[in-house]
A and B are shown apart, each in its own frame.
Chain A
Amino acid sequence: MVEAVLELKNLSVGYDEPLISNINLEVFPGEVITILGPSGIGKTTLVRTIAGLIRPLSGSFDLNVERRGGLGYIPQRLGLVRHATVAHNVSLGARTRVGFSLNMWKERSQRTMDALRMLGIADKSNEPVRRLSGGQQRRVATARTLAQRPQLMLADEFLGELDHSNVEIVFEAVQNLVDDGTAVIMIEHHDDNAQLFATRIWEIQDGKIADISIKEWKNRKTGGEEE
């Protein structure tokens, strides 16, 4: 039986008051979950709690990933080192996975370059991140996670206002991770992007999460026409 990478047990998240309460959900390898809901409802708080950046208000969660490099996180503002080069930023992902050895420099560099090529930014590797466009920076953040190859990837609106071609490039990279068994939890505002990636939707309403399969969600959207 496949073990869940994430298990939420009666979890309540929020700052002073709970924003989302009594979450009981599991996430398995290879799943892509999109969190939907209006602004300020607790999507980011949930993701930050799973990332270990905020303490849960009550309940708990089991994160069955390796301590170093098992979790990938792309915050809303991408979390890039703006004054460092693209290659340096992407190599941070590789650093978490390549331990000390004689070949570590070569391995890190290989992982970094592979990720840069997949995201189509290998020619920008020596550019400081601050000089790139918003879309290119999103590709750098994705490349960092690709070089990391985490077991669980958390992404907070990382597609942002990307144009169609950029979304496709990022989609291909994420698909590559998912094919290797990475589970993805991402916050998304656009229904189209949610459909493109997700296998399940977590819809947040009135402080509760509804866990919906992508098929059911599409049916809802089309009013059952696809059935």
Chain B
Amino acid sequence: MKYRLFGIISILLLLAWQTLDGLIEGDWGRLEGGLGNLSVFFSESMWPPNWSVIEARPYPVCESEIEFFCSVGYLGMMETIKIAFVATILGFIGALFFSSLAARNLVPLYVAIPVRILLSAIRSLPSLIWAILFVIVIGFGPLSGVLAMTFYTVGYLGKLQYETFEGMANDSLEASRAMGLPRSSILLNVVIPENSNHLLSQLMFMFEYNVRHGTVIGIVGAGGIGYYISTYLKFLQYEKVFALLILIFVVVVIIDLLSMMVRSFVNDEGDVRRPTWLNVVLSEK
């Protein structure tokens, strides 16, 4: 078994290597000096991070006693978080509706297939393209960002959710069907509670994903921290970009810790020990 796994991984690596070689047409020389270039770019242009992004902006005048609350970093990050929060909630609810109509163990195939095609269509446009579309339709600002992320969330979470539903144990579904519970009741009272752990995990992952992608869609004018990143990139202020990227990293780590805390409420006891708020921040001795 161990040798077979080793063999499969070796073959896959070889295939990947061959494919890459084909893609770059064997021109491996381009990698030469790449590491050096990266090192020069990082040390001369990005390092040290410029932390002025977490100081109050000169205009408008800061009315808060804490400077940080008037900074580009805070304001941009908060707008990104708000966009991601609204889009994740709306997208999650929309995805639940569609995924319940796409899971083969919940609906007949003639319903599941068209809904799956619809979800694939929504998913095939990346959030960036959705953002460009909504910026064209609605104009610059957070509303375009919210709509772009909501659509992408529906497509992406919808697939994760229907695959989760299809993987659930059949016995609870069969018992509730035989009892004569209506489809809506089975979804709300059996399917969703039974998959709550996975659904919460996916919800938190999507929120984190949307926060990260807030940077990308901001670049096309859909609001959030990406707007500032885009501006600093234009003016070659890479130290400020790097500081903002660190800020995003910190937020993503915090969301991950929150996710661990939230999911511990629906985990099997003993599988994962429920963390306390203290040991989310400080490791246990």
Q: A: which residues have CB within 8 A of B? A: 48, 51-53, 66-84, 88, 92-93, 95-96, 130-131, 148, 150, 154
Cα-based distance from A66 to B178 in the complex (angstroms): 12
Smallest CB separation, B187 vs chain A (Å)? 12
Please give, as numbers and ranges, the residues of chain B lying within 8 Å of A74 by CB-CB distance. Answer: 175
Within 8 A of A (CB), among B136-175: 169, 171-175
Contact of B180 among A68, A77, A79 (CB under 8 A): A68
Contact of A95 among B171, B178, B189, B193 (CB under 8 A): B189
Please give, as numbers and ranges, the residues of chain B lying within 8 Å of A96 by CB-CB distance. Answer: 179-181
Smallest CB separation, B13 vs chain A (Å)? 39
Contacts A75-B174, A77-B169 given; indicate if A83 touches B179 (C-beta within 8 A). no
Smallest CB separation, A56 vs chain B (Å)? 15
The reply on B65 being an interface residue by CB < 8 A is: no
Smallest CB separation, B202 vs chain A (Å)? 15
Contacts A67-B180, A95-B185, A96-B181 given; indicate if A84 touches B171 (C-beta within 8 A). no
Within 8 A of A (CB), among B193-209: 193-197
Contact of A92 among B176, B266, B269 (CB under 8 A): B176
Smallest CB separation, A5 vs chain B (Å)? 14
Cα-based distance from A67 to B178 in the complex (angstroms): 9
Listed A/B pairs (22) with beta-carbon separation below 8 Å:
A51-B178, A52-B177, A68-B181, A70-B180, A71-B179, A71-B180, A72-B179, A74-B175, A75-B174, A75-B175, A76-B171, A77-B171, A78-B175, A79-B174, A79-B175, A81-B190, A81-B193, A82-B172, A82-B194, A84-B189, A88-B189, A92-B176
Which range contains the number of B residues in contact with the other chain? 20 to 34
The reply on B268 being an interface residue by CB < 8 A is: yes
Task: Decide if the interface of chain A is mainly helix, strand, loop or mixed.
Answer: loop
Please give, as numbers and ranges, the residues of chain B lying within 8 Å of A52 by CB-CB distance. Answer: 177-178
Interface centre among A67, A81, A82 (most CB of B within 10 A): A81
Please give, as numbers and ranges, the residues of chain B lying within 8 Å of A66 by CB-CB distance. Answer: 180
Please give, as numbers and ranges, the residues of chain B lying within 8 Å of A51 by CB-CB distance. Answer: 174, 178
Smallest CB separation, A133 vs chain B (Å)? 13
Task: Decide if the interface of chain B is mainly helix, strand, loop or mixed.
Answer: helix
Smallest CB separation, A71 vs chain B (Å)? 6
Please give, as numbers and ranges, the residues of chain A lying within 8 Å of B177 by CB-CB distance. Answer: 52-53
Tell me whether B172 and A79 are in contact (CB under 8 A): yes
Cα-based distance from A52 to B180 in the complex (angstroms): 10
Q: Besides A52-B177, A72-B178, A83-B195, 4 other CB < 8 A contacts?
A: A74-B175, A84-B189, A92-B181, A95-B181
Tell me whether B181 and A83 are in contact (CB under 8 A): no
Within 8 A of A (CB), among B174-232: 174-182, 185, 189-190, 193-197
CB-based nearest A residue for B269: A131
Tell me whether B171 and A71 are in contact (CB under 8 A): no
Tell me whether B179 and A93 are in contact (CB under 8 A): yes
Contact of B172 among A81, A130, A131, A148 (CB under 8 A): A81
CB-based nearest A residue for B268: A130
Please give, as numbers and ranges, the residues of chain B lying within 8 Å of A79 by CB-CB distance. Answer: 171-176
Please give, as numbers and ranges, the residues of chain B lying within 8 Å of A78 by CB-CB distance. Answer: 171, 175
Please give, as numbers and ranges, the residues of chain A lying within 8 Å of B174 by CB-CB distance. Answer: 48, 51, 53, 73, 75, 79
CB-based nearest A residue for B271: A130
CB-based nearest A residue for B194: A81
Smallest CB separation, B185 vs chain A (Å)? 6
Please give, as numbers and ranges, the residues of chain A lying within 8 Å of B176 by CB-CB distance. Answer: 79, 92
Tell me whether A73 and B172 are in contact (CB under 8 A): no
Smallest CB separation, B192 vs chain A (Å)? 9
Tell me whether A80 and B180 are in contact (CB under 8 A): no
CB-based nearest B residue for A91: B189
Tell me whether B179 and A73 are in contact (CB under 8 A): yes
CB-based nearest B residue for A65: B180
Smallest CB separation, A52 vs chain B (Å)? 6
7 tightest Cβ-Cβ pairs between the two chains A and B: A79-B175, A73-B178, A68-B180, A84-B193, A51-B178, A77-B171, A79-B171
CB-based nearest B residue for A74: B175
Contacts A79-B172, A83-B197, A83-B266 given; indicate if A92 touches B179 (C-beta within 8 A). yes
Contact of B196 among A69, A83, A154 (CB under 8 A): A83
